[in-house]
Structure 1
Amino acid sequence: MRRWSVVRMTGLAIAVVVAIGALYQLPASPFARHGYPDRPAPSTKAVAADQGVQRPVKPVEPADRSASRPVRPQPAITYPARGTVSYAVLPGDSAVIGRSGRLITFQIAIEGGINGIDRTALAEFVRATYSAPQGWASGGLWRFQQVGPGQDADFKLMLVTPATRDIICGGGYDRYTSCRIGDRVVLNIARWVHGIPNHGASLAAYRQYMINHETGHRLGRAHELCPGPGQPAPVMQQQTLGLHGCTPYSWPYVNGVRYNGRLGQYDDPIPHS
């Protein structure tokens, strides 16, 4: 698929190619791997109205605002196979993301043993993903707000080690994918750090996919199929396990229109690495 995005700045024009990305994931839960939709979020009429299939041909990515910021060296992220299975919840942020729709509160938590994460940058990245022009908050159905330790949250977005992923998500040995189970949106730190091979999009775009895919399950969305060769992959496709002719795409909306594929999933194997 073509990649577009032009960022114009006063006195200077620079072209920034924004990778149309997938950010990660796979079985939304051990149930979803066997063809069942993930455990449903609270049902609303807004969710029902969001089921129509739209297939725009030329998605326009949100501009990567980080491209205009000074680049600073980042510490390497390190992690063991299994962390402490205890979590540090990041401070909240009072800003509400989105202008209309149901308010969904969330926490961000990092498992002990994972080191090198810039926690402020992580929280900003998550909030920017939800607030992006093609993100979940853009359609008028949902608003998001990050809350801190000790506050009630509708879900917890968690960065966990591979073995802890299996403890939380269940379904046997995996250690590769991420999942959503109950009110936990579980992101595998191995995929966050390394992405997936031969994906065709940037690591930042894959991370956006991870967040949007697993959050989509929390919002009641099930897995979807590739609409056809050369088309953008729906964000609810298990892009971590295979694109099936589609091109990677990280977002639930395309040009302001909800972008869906036909419900279903492929019987792709889980890599053992």
Structure 2
Amino acid sequence: MTPPAGWWVGDARITPIVEVTADCIIQAGMRDATPERMLGIPWLRPDFATDDGQMRSVVQAFVIELGDTVVLVDTGVGNGKPRPGLPAWSGLDTDFLDRLAAHGVQPDGVDVVVSTHLHFDHVGWNTTARRDTWTPTFTRARYLVSETEFGYWAGRPHGESADDHAGFDDSVRPVLDAGLVDLVADDHKVHDGIRLVPTPGHTPGHVSVLVESAGREAVISGDAIHHPCQIAHPEWSVHADFDPERARRTRVELLGRCADAGTLLIGSHFPSPTAIRVGRDGPGFTVHPVDLP
């Protein structure tokens, strides 16, 4: 499955950098998304589901280039991170940084790293191992984290997975200790034309990333929307949602914005073609072809 080359949103270029597949992992966590129900959404095939109703999904980061600024949204699972709760993502050894370099971005060329939230599969490449120590990967970047989100995880909340706590310890704490983290408001302006949008529910301080340029808009969803099937069924939740009802309301609000404003929806776990146009379908939502390169 070849990832798209990216999209121009006005003067901003957004490019996906795929790390690893996530098909069965996300479907297993979305109990409502059975193969039979997936087959009931015909437009999911062939890009977002197989002919037997199995979900297609990925873990990926996004490079936003606007003017001279390079912003990296989320950083995947990371290499060499022990995640025993999900063996498929434990101790990975991928060429993610080579893929980033193939796009023309070296680690020291990233100006800002934005975390939509602090689950381990969105922060892993924040750090890499050097002499058995987890150290910041993007050494020139400021790492932006919602203050609400950081406070939640720094409090070592009960009921969260050991893997996510480990992700905070080996992928967030080291960049904080290096003085590279900025704790920001959930509607923080990242750069002219790039800002955060509060999308709580999956986690307490979850944010999405809105790009606005030359009269066009795109939003990178993070885990506010895990899979396109939730466009047809916003009520389908994932087991990792902190507040499933709030997450549902957030999805409806985000989908409504995309439908009414013509905002391009770029799903953090959506496989190629990744970007979707949302339309209203009575009280619900559907998808339309994307007309951007």
Give the TM-score taking structure 2 as reference length: 0.27
Give the TM-score taking structure 1 as reference length: 0.28
Q: Which has the higher helix share?
A: 2
Q: Which has the higher strand share?
A: 2
